[in-house]
Amino acid sequence: MDLARVIGTLVATQKVEGLEGVRFLVIQPIQPDGSDAGEPVIAADAVYSAGPGTIVWFTASREAAIALPEPFVPVDAAIVGIVDQINDSSEESRP
């Protein structure tokens, strides 16, 4: 599971059965310090409250579909939480 910043929305009218009502967002995976980590991906919004600019955490692979109301859908990234606060002290925790 990783942090990400929502950078856009995606609309698809014609889609596989089971995906009705599922919102798709474009997310940029980030590190705890806010820097980009890899390429943007499309994720389903399983908490129904993320929007552009929101910092979220997401789950990938099989677990993404499990987060949705219909768990047997072709989805491999899903937003499962909205971040309120990040506390990270990676420098001082080094051995």
Partner 1 sequence: MILGRVTGNVVGTIKHPSFNEYALLIVQPLTADGSPKGNRMLAVDHAQAGPGDRVLVLSEGSGIRQILGDSSSPIRALIVAVVDAVDCELE
Q: What is the C-alpha to C-alpha distance for residues 1 and 59, in angstroms, rounded to an integer?
A: 5
* 17-56 residues near partner 1, rule: CB under 8 A: 31-32, 37-38, 46-47, 49
Query: Which stretch of DSSP H or E encloses residue 66?
Result: helix 62-66
Q: How far is the CB of 22 from partner 1 (least distance, A)?
A: 14
Is residue 77 close enough to count as binding partner 1 by CB under 8 A? no
Residue 83, Cα to own-chain centre: how many angstroms?
11
Is residue 82 close enough to count as binding partner 1 by CB under 8 A? yes
Residues 14/65/8/17 CA torsion (nearest 10 deg): 10
Kindly tell me which of 16 and 86 has the beta carbon lying closer to partner 1.
Answer: 86
Of the candidates 76, 15, 23, 27, the one whose C-alpha atom is nearest the C-alpha of residue 48 is 23
State which of residues 10, 12, 16, 86 lies at the interface with partner 1 (CB under 8 A). 86
Q: Which residues bind partner 1 (CB under 8 A)?
A: 1-3, 31-32, 37-38, 46-47, 49, 57, 59-64, 66-67, 71, 78, 80-90, 93-95
